[in-house]
Amino acid sequence: MENKFVKILVLIVIFVSIYTLYDQISGGSSIFGGDKNKVEEAYNLIQKLYVDDISDSALSRSAIEGILSQLDPHSIYLTTDEVQGNEEEMKGEFEGIGIEFQIIKDTINIITVLQGGPSASAGVLPGDKLIKVDDSSAISLDTDQIRKKIKGKSGTSVKVHISRYGRKDIFPIVIKRGKIPVKSVTASFMLDSVTGYFNIVRFGEKTSQEVLDVLKALQKQGMKQVMIDLRNNTGGYLNEAVKIADYFLTGRKLIVFTKGRISQANETFAAEESYPFEKMPLVVLINRASASASEILAGAIQDWDRGLVVGERSFGKGLVQQQLQLQDGSAIRLTIAKYFTPLGRSIQRDYENKEDYYSEIENREDETGDNLNHELDSAKDMPAYLTPMRRKVYGGGGITPDYFVSEFKNKKTALELLKNNFFSQASLKWYEVNGTETKKNFKDVVAFQKDFEFNANDINGFYEFANVVIPESGIRAEIASGDYMKNRIKAEIAKFIWNQQGYFYVSSSYDAVVVKALSLFAEASKIAKLK
């Protein structure tokens, strides 16, 4: 196993010609004999004899990706652009114009304009269509191509050409780029007089401080119990998840530990400081897209009976990656360890069949219901562990919630509509016509949530459009149950006006997971022995 690990690293080094790094790792000695020469020989033969021209960079990248494909699904190669993009996201800021967009039918539709950002200051509005960037057409470009065009150093300018509903012309707007904050917490508010809610969309360099600031702000508003939404959070920095767990765990309780082949990869993380949130009832929301650092946080809370976990079974990623930069600025993200919850659970799913590894997520069918002793867990063939309250939990298949709750009453149809971008398109079409008047009529999202209603013509239009997006009979009946469609479109419209804060505030009123979680705080307090 040791030789295999070193061989992988050395092969990578060979292909990108980073011989100095190889010398540091191996001391300059060849530890696998003729294999090094064989790889170099094949590489040189391809360069000299292959029928078509092929660049060294393309060959190197293919070689690295081929090597990494033999490992786990999370050991990957990153281009220089991908490295830069990930660093910006994790650092909590980037330089650009401050918009979120979606490509619909080859056209860039601006969905969100960051309040106080460069685009907002220049007069860009949600619903605008971006037709040109400087003197180049933006039609039919992909997401990466657009981002490259609009991003740039703070203080520099970019001219965009906009198409706007109600205007016949395509008009230019000059935007002066600036530093754009990338928030980990995109929504926080009081669900009722005592329940504070916030989401965490990623674990970046500043996430724990963001969360601490949000907790203090909600506490000033009367928060006495906490709901943390980790749904669709795919992870990030382990240390940040550890710090947030520390906000809620008392004493020196273990949060997570890691085990790797090399001793440097073996680490233990425990709570260190005292916080005023340690005695507050706690509920954590997860779904099948909650992964890695999200699972560390949810797992620590569950293992110590500190709170309840509600939603769907999480992704099941229990591997720790280290990003190793290569000479040209690209990098490999290499799995160096596995992490374990306080009880010793590895939550990593089996990845022997890589083709099924991601498709399994989409095809899961979890049974809705009370799962406090985890009788509904699908991982009963895996090792069982007992929490301090003698609740049984399992490893090897993600974090299973204490209460299974589906986000959709009509799951199949709702997912089809989501996949086909129905809600974004329907809300955008409606907002183009009615957005200006709606903004005038409602001073804030609280008033909007309370008083706004679609009329009958709006609803019929949504159903007609749904049948265009997904041509199938019975869609009206399937969606009508629970009014999911109109509620989701209402939340999307709130996002146009009040960004993510607006979306989550409106969606919380009909979100089945949030509604169920609100009813569980007495149980959460009981298992945590807070009363």
Catalytic residues: 292, 303, 317
| Termini Cα distance of the chain | 51
- Continuous segment of H or E residues that includes residue 257: strand 254-260
Q: Which of 511, 480, 116, 498 is nearest to 312 (CA)?
A: 511
Could you give the maximum distance between any two Cα atoms of the chain, in Å?
A: 77
* Strand, coil or helix: 193: coil
Question: Dihedrals φ, ψ of 12, to 5°?
Answer: -60, -45
Length of the chain: 531
Q: What's the rounded Cα separation, in Å, for the pair 468 and 430?
A: 16
Q: What is the DSSP string of 269-325?
A: EE--S--TTTTS-EEEEE-TT--THHHHHHHHHHHTT-SEEEES------EEEEEEE
Q: Which long-range contacts (CB under 8 A, 24 or more apart) does 467-473 make?
A: 469/417, 469/420, 469/421, 469/422, 469/425, 470/413, 470/416, 470/417, 470/420, 470/422
Q: What's the rounded Cα separation, in Å, for the pair 54 and 322?
A: 30
Q: What's the rounded Cα separation, in Å, for the pair 390 and 441?
A: 54
Assess contact for 150 and 97: CB atoms under 8 A: yes
Assess contact for 371 and 308: CB atoms under 8 A: no
Q: What's the rounded Cα separation, in Å, for the pair 81 and 148?
A: 9
Give the CA dihedral 101, 104, 108, 111, nearest 10 degrees: -30
If DSSP states are collapsed to H, E and C, what string results for 92-136? CEEEECCEEEEEECCEEEEEEECCCCHHHHHCCCCCCEEEEECCE
Structural tokens at position 516: 């169920």
The number of C-alpha atoms within 13 Å of 483 and in the hemisphere containing its C-beta is 11
